[in-house]
Amino acid sequence: MKTYVALALAAPALVSAQQSMWGQCGGIGWTGPTNCAAPAACSTLNPYYAQCLSAVGQQTTTASTTRSTTAQTTPATTPATTTVATTMRTTTTTSSGPVGTGLDNLIKAKGKKYVGFCADPGTLSNSQNAAILRNEGGQLTAENSMKWESLSPNSQGSYNWGNADQLVAFAENNGKILRGHTFVWHQQIPNWLKNINNKATLTSAIQTHIAAVMGRYKGKIYAWDVANEVFEDNGSMRDSVFSRVFGDWTFLDVAFNAARAADPNAKLCLNDYNLDYSSAKLTNFVALVKTLKNRGVPVDCVGSQSHLVVGNGAIPSYKTTLDSLATTNTEVQITELDIRTTASPSSSQISQQVTDYKTVVSACMKTSACSGITVWGVSDKDSWVPSTFSGQGYALIWDNNFNKKACYQGFVDGINS
């Protein structure tokens, strides 16, 4: 659930200092050089990020901007490290490449937006995975490659774009929409971020990071999980560097407002797990979203991860929880669906899994606010479940050999219910 120029945070730059080509030259919270060395000129990309770009043939940055120094052929095992670019170069625009002929087409025919899967370059490197993604899905979520620690592990302002760029290129070349995942999360964040203990510094870090990442992929990402897992299971605010430093929920205001400024057309989501049954967590999650929206924070969608267990007694009432989420008047998305059981299930467990997939998918189909479903992986071969839950597995709809499992039909039956 897993490089720009260094920011001059220590002291304001001298007036005479000049930023080199591709460096940051402005934006909310920026205290470094604001002049660019020739032939570059400072170009404002969004309120939080301005960059030194070539003054020769310079164009206004738009959603279709395609310049970058990171080649799309960078191997997944050696991600490119750059000190440039808030926009990404691809050799094609969004193409009319293969569109899903399986689950995604079925759900679109019934009026929903997508069936999707999480993926990263390692997933895409397997031809069988890639074929399933092309033929069955219409949407991809970055499993790990867009998390803060993956993009900027070593120092603030230094970015590794290679893996994220590859995922974006695959989506564009195959006609898939993308969900970005994730900015504000208590896990998989770099040590330099964890060590921040000043509100102004953390505010600037959030704003600058979101502006950099969303600026690079502006117009290429359908929705972003701006914040992830901000609640403990008992419904209280989760302990994190964000909650400790801010002391309240206003870190979400900072993140969502920065995201809206960076890409006004992207859907901005609050995502969490264990929203699958009536609980204090679900109640408080819904209340928080309503509170944020009432004070003008741009929350467009809510995500229910839906990591479920075969035969769990809450699954039959899953529709009720989607209805609760829909009271936020936002788009509701099932964002990380899998339904696990024992690694070597019995025939009765397999049969129950078919029923459970049908129940969950049917609930989305019968909830007008539910726009789509993302399955958290392609095949059991790559599922996160076995390494996290001892003795558990068999959670996805293709097996270790990329064969459709019985629960695939449960998914289809849910769409058609």
Q: What is the pLDDT of residues 171-186, one digit of tens each?
A: 999 999 999 999 999 9
- What is the rounded distance in angstroms from the CA atom of residue 259 to the CA atom of residue 74? 27
CATH number of residue 163's parent domain: 3.20.20.80
In a domain, 79, yes or no: no
Answer whether residue 55 shows pLDDT above 90: no
Answer whether residue 162 shows pLDDT above 70: yes
Tens of pLDDT, residue by residue over 298-349, are 999 999 999 999 999 999 999 999 999 999 999 999 999 999 999 999 999 9
Q: Looking at residue 251, what is its pLDDT?
A: 98
In a domain, 22, yes or no: no
Quick one: average pLDDT of 131-155? 97
Q: Looking at residue 78, what is its pLDDT?
A: 33
In a domain, 130, yes or no: yes
In a domain, 73, yes or no: no
Pick the more confident residue, 114 or 67: 114
- What is the rounded distance in angstroms from the CA atom of residue 254 to the CA atom of residue 206? 7
Catalytic pick from 149, 229, 232, 331?
Answer: 229
Q: Looking at residue 37, what is its pLDDT?
A: 79
Q: Looking at residue 54, what is its pLDDT?
A: 54
When divided into structural domains, the chain yields a total of 1
Q: Are strands 301-304 and 267-272 parallel, antiparallel or unpaired?
A: parallel
In a domain, 175, yes or no: yes
Q: Structural domain of residue 343, as residue ranges?
A: 103-416
Average pLDDT over all residues of the chain: 85
- Return the structure tokens found at 264: 């006004």
In a domain, 26, yes or no: no
First to last CA, the chain: 29
In the numeric block, the tokens 């993140």 are attached to 255
The percentage of the chain sitting over the pLDDT mark of 70, rounded to a whole number, equals 79
The percentage of the chain sitting over the pLDDT mark of 90, rounded to a whole number, equals 76
Quick one: average pLDDT of 259-277? 98
Question: Does residue 354 contact residue 411 with C-beta atoms inside 8 Å?
Answer: no
Angle at CA 214, nearest 5°, toward 213 and 219?
A: 135
Catalytic pick from 143, 172, 331, 336?
Answer: 336
Q: Looking at residue 34, what is its pLDDT?
A: 86
Q: Are strands 392-393 and 331-342 parallel, antiparallel or unpaired?
A: antiparallel
Tens of pLDDT, residue by residue over 374-411, are 999 999 999 999 999 999 999 999 999 999 999 999 99
Quick one: average pLDDT of 219-241? 98
The count of residues in the chain is: 417
In a domain, 238, yes or no: yes
In a domain, 317, yes or no: yes
Answer whether residue 75 shows pLDDT above 50: no
Q: Looking at residue 19, what is its pLDDT?
A: 60
Answer whether residue 145 shows pLDDT above 90: yes
229 is an active site residue:
yes
Q: Looking at residue 53, what is its pLDDT?
A: 58
Residues 6 or more apart in contact with residue 240 via CB below 8 angstroms: 185, 186, 230
Tens of pLDDT, residue by residue over 25-35, are 666 554 567 88
- What is the rounded distance in angstroms from the CA atom of residue 173 to the CA atom of residue 99? 10
In the numeric block, the tokens 């996160």 are attached to 384
Q: Looking at residue 311, what is its pLDDT?
A: 96
Q: Looking at residue 233, what is its pLDDT?
A: 96
